A and B are shown apart, each in its own frame.
Chain A
Amino acid sequence: MTVPPDVYFTQYSFAAKDAPTRRTLSDRLSDVVNVLDWGADPTYSSDSTAAIRAAIAYGASVGNHTVYFPPGDYLIGNPPLSMGQGPGTMMWFVGAGKDATRLRGNYSSSTSREGSYLVQKTGPYDRIWGMTVQNDSVLPYTGAFLDPWGTNNLVEAVDCRFVGIIAYEVSWGWITYDYPNHWGVVTYGHGIRNCEFICSAAIPRADAASYLPPAGSTGVGTGCGRMSGCIVKGFDVGIALAGYGLAVFGNHISQCNVGIDMQQDYRRSGLSYMSGCSVFSNVIERCNTGLYVRGIGGTYAAANAIIGNGGVPNSAPIQNMSWNAATHVVTVQTPAAHNIAGPTATIWLDQVNPSAWTPDGSGTQRVTATITDATHFAYAGPSAQPPTFVSGSWNRALTGPEIQVRGPTAATMRANVCASNPTGLSVQWDVGSIRAFESVCMAMQGPNGWSPPAHFDPNMWGPGAGDGYTTSTEFINCGTTNQPPVAWMQYADIGRGTYQGRSYDIVDAQPTAIGGIVSGGGGNNHYKIYFNGTNWIRVA
């Protein structure tokens, strides 16, 4: 019997079941480029950057752009890792899930604004799916993932976790601030869904020593496209938005200084960098300020729930409470340092049991505490001896305002809920300079108070009255009970709204009868006035 010559296994071709074409297993295995085949180390003990780069380069060379990362921790020791091979290519990074596949490193070569990002994409059609990208650096302007400014289209991040001081940056959103000649964030069709964005510094709780996260830390700085189903935790700014055509909805943002920053800063650019956007049904929890609307055009923010301490986990436990019969002061002992900067701070007592230990007997109350030492603080308690203390916890009270508005443009704000119960106002309008026009704000309550738009400041814009945009926001069914943001306007606030049929409520009219012409301010009459095409007429 003659033994036929061998076929080496790697050259042995065979067909898939019922399929006509024979292929070798080696060829089949390169259908998806697997980083382990290129020597990546899934145990985090040696640097995988070169291996992953080689895998990407090979994929690009043969037109195969799906790179699979099996479960494991991959050390990115020589960052940045670029996803694609430059413009014109595309790349899919596929992991085995955000707990299974992790790309990690500590990258901080540049702490200037260009920053250091562990992974960045370079092609226009890239996708990253099912993995964690984590930069352990806690220095400013370092981050996990960068989608750089340029020709970026149709990028998608799905089921990923990004950990960094700046977890995910699209197009260097800060360009919007500093370089007005750049038209902000330009990515088209960018999609982010069901991702997590975690601050790589210790996630501060509302009761932590560094109450504010590292300044400048940002969960997501993003532009066009869609962001939904995401979880954002522990940043200075949770989601910083700029760009055109963006839907941000169904996200959960917690423990940030500002939840969502709708960020056009017109003081520098004079241009609206955010338009055609919708921001809705986001839950913003335990953030100092929920929505910061710095200037939006053709955009709406609706049905966002800004909620506070109530029912929130991670509040700090109370170990012991004692009551002084002479002063009626309750002294609280915390099992660890309480981190209240002192000498006094407003804190929120949570679920104190029995409830009699809170001054109002509610079991949940905001009080002003005086710091006695690292593990004790005290507050004015009930007038009678409370029953035996069982359990309780406390949080630092949020300071708010829950919604800050600084000049909406052709925008709608509606049906947003303020339920943080901050120590400050619920809604603060016109923070700083003002340029608002033709906007609508409706169906919004400010249970903790509402500061109305400021009056027109003729020195802020151009030559003076007549060029004002100030109060062209119409408020419909808004306001704190019996304290709505209407009827604050002065005659001088009427800017460009001089067309027939426009009406305003003003508070400084000179006296005239119904139907008479209202020609100026300086009086003290509250009138509803109507522009008949020529004059402002008193109608009520």
Chain B
Amino acid sequence: MANPLLIRRRLLLGGAVGLTTLPTQVLADTAFTNFSFAATGAPASRTMPDRLSDVINVKDWGAIGNNSNDDTNAIQSAINYAIGPRPNGSVGGRVFFPPGNYKCSRGLVVGSNSVDVGISLIGGGWANTFIKNSSISKGGLAYDCLEYIGGTQIGYITATRPGVLIDHCHLWCDLSQCVGGCLHNCQSDGGYNAPNSPNPGGDLNAVNYWLGKACTAIASRTQGGGIGYALCGDGAACVGSSCEMHQLAFRIGWGPQVTMHISQAAGVNTNVLTFSPAPSPLVAVVGRAMSAANIPAGTKIQSTNLGAGQITLTNNLTGKLAQGASVTFDHEIPVRGGTVQSSQMEQNAIGIEIYNGEGCQVVGNSIYQQHGYPGFDQMLNLSWNAGIATATTQDGSPHYIPAGTHIIQFFLGLTNSNYLPSQPQNQAFYDGTIIGGAFVAVNSPGPNANYFTYPLAANPGGTATCGWCYPNISAIRVRRAISCYIGGNLLSCATTHGAIDLNYTGSGSYNDLSGGDPVVYHRNNVFAGCMAGAGWVLPSNTKNLAGWKFINCGGWLGVASYWGGVAGYPATVRAPTGQMHFSDLPDNSATVPQDGPYEGQEFDIVDGNPSNAALGQQVTGGGSGHFKVRWNSSIWTRSG
């Protein structure tokens, strides 16, 4: 027997079924889709289809969300409807994704060529709404229409609409070309055992979050990958965010690589490149490095004339580039006004790097190495080759060590100290307990492989449980900083290259410490309130050292074996002061950019001459006096 309630419904509302079974009743009925009624307490009647379009539900557009149906077309249709213009001329709206696993086969386009309008995408929480195998971008259309997305998990979002808000989502995100965008309570799991990572191996293109002009990451979290947060626009800020298991946790002054094509008909006969269409101001930034075949290393953008689509380079490229030639601009972008504040880092090779910053601040951060949740790998099996004294591990899950030989750190959970190459110096103290902590050079076939090898003197036998991570190279390092402030950060990590590296001259890769890139330029900076257990690496160009004022900075002389660095790694300076020679003082020479000398400026030098100079007397170099010296507007005099 039919459900009487259903019959009654049919009776009143009509429709085909009711019409055939109960014609006399139904004739007076209104078809359900035309049946308008009021909400409880409300005066206005509306039909259900009208109500249901107040919020656009992807399931109404055919999406199923069962993790097998291809929902791409349905979702795209819903998005296009939300953008509009709709038949009544209206534009914009909210698209709701009820909890579900929406399998897609291509990226979603949230863009328009006809209307510059924002829409909002609302999920049911990122653990519940998963738009799988997909991304969001404007897809080459004129306007990016993504104004808001919340409560959703998706692969990658490239957003350029000013002020876009990405709220409580799980994703990778590129806000490099955006102004005022915000990542709020977002999470991104990168290279570490993450098959959806855009680059699971982790290199400097694998950036979890690019942050452009006035873009912010607030209370967000990343795990694993090349760079956690790349600040690549003026006023980019990370506040209250977390970053673990990266090559570089936070890098200031680093943007996505861009490739453009030369448009000048006769090829390049000067140092001026012309592009059509013209690059945007966010892409063509003075200081960006350029790479192309035949181009001298170190070639950078000197100036731009975007109205004419032109970029002037620091080198003459006559005859080296033809029309249509592909030119790649590397990541470097000077960032003015970047902030990393009240954020937390663990197990990163580099904590915070000012690659190219002006007026940036790094304040109130915690840079830990070993505390908290480790990146465990289970070593299910170890086989040992006595001939070459090498152990091969069998991982419980794919590791994320890049291909080649890398020094990694084992920590926590070793059940047999024989798994470490030698004892006991590679053990580390942690809260008074000996744990298996050692830097070990391992050889890896590449990310997502399930084994790697490393040397052992004796057969360890059996199975181990361990964790590993990139070795912590430096907690904070600086390449080019003008008018920057670093203060009040807690560094708690044994580093291989000094806790603070103010002489980073690498080409960009996180572990390139070769000094290959000479662009080190420090001026008008302040470093305050810092205890660097593993010491300081000071600028080799000491005019750059004069560009820093250190306030209550020093080393930790306590448990040196842990806090003060690791045996076998470069000796570092325990305090950033008291190292300077007279020749390091600013001298207003034109060849080296420097800060000063100006009246009242003071430094500590170790080679003051005469070595017995009285206070107030002129001091020069070459002696043995450890003096405080002060510029009195014409000479350096002893002031302490």
Contacts and interface: CB of A to CB of B under 8 A. Distances in A.
A302 B361 contact: yes
Contacts of A37: 38-39, 42-44, 46
Contacts of A258: none
Interface in B595-628: 595-601, 614-616
A505 B148 CA distance: 54
Contact of A231 (B38, B180, B218, B281): B180
A417 B94 contact: no
A428 interface: no
Interface string B103-123: 000000000000001111000
A442 B630 CA distance: 19
A307 B336 contact: yes
Interface in A23-72: 24-27, 29-30, 33-34, 36-39, 42, 51, 54-55, 58, 62, 68, 70-72
B318 interface: no
Nearest to A10: B37
Given A6-B12, A442-B549, A249 B239 contact: yes
Contacts of A406: none
A164 B38 CA distance: 35
B181 interface: yes
A4 interface: yes
Report, as a range, how many residues of chain B touch the other chain.
Answer: 35 or more
Given A283-B214, A303-B339, A443-B484, A250 B165 contact: no
Contact of B482 (A5, A6, A283, A445): A445
A477 B595 contact: yes
B216 A250 contact: yes
B180 A251 contact: yes
Contacts of A24: 40
Nearest to B120: A97
Contacts of A6: 8, 11-12, 25
A71 B85 CA distance: 12
Contacts of A477: 524-526, 547-549, 595
B25 to A, nearest CB: 7
Contact of B120 (A9, A159, A252): A159
B40 A71 contact: no
A68 B55 CA distance: 10
Interface in A497-525: 505, 513-515
Contacts of B216: 228-229, 249-250, 281
A306 B597 CA distance: 26
Contacts of A415: 337, 359-361, 483-485, 526
Interface in A276-296: 280-283
B431 interface: no
B5 interface: yes
Contact of A539 (B5, B484, B640): B640
A63 B600 CA distance: 67
A96 interface: yes
Contacts of B39: 26, 29-30, 33-34, 37
Contacts of B551: 476
Interface in B1-52: 4-5, 7-9, 11-13, 22, 25, 35, 37-44, 46, 48, 50-51
A478 interface: yes
A305 B180 contact: no
A391 to B, nearest CB: 5
Interface string A177-196: 00000000000000001111
Given A130-B148, A540-B639, A249 B234 contact: no
Interface string B511-554: 00000000000011110000000000000000000011101000
Contacts of A392: 307
Contact of A249 (B43, B339, B526, B633): B339
A234 to B, nearest CB: 14
Contacts of A51: 44
Nearest to B586: A482
A419 interface: yes
Given A39-B44, A252-B235, A280-B339, A311 B281 contact: yes
18 contacts: A51-B44, A100-B90, A193-B182, A193-B184, A196-B162, A229-B181, A249-B239, A280-B337, A281-B216, A281-B339, A307-B336, A351-B308, A416-B359, A417-B336, A443-B526, A477-B524, A483-B598, A487-B600
Given A231-B179, A250-B237, A419-B336, 17 more contacts: A3-B22, A6-B25, A30-B41, A100-B94, A130-B120, A281-B236, A303-B337, A305-B336, A362-B303, A416-B359, A443-B359, A477-B547, A477-B549, A484-B596, A514-B616, A540-B616, A540-B639
The 9 closest A-B pairs by CB, nearest first: A100-B92, A305-B337, A417-B359, A351-B307, A250-B216, A540-B639, A283-B235, A281-B237, A229-B182
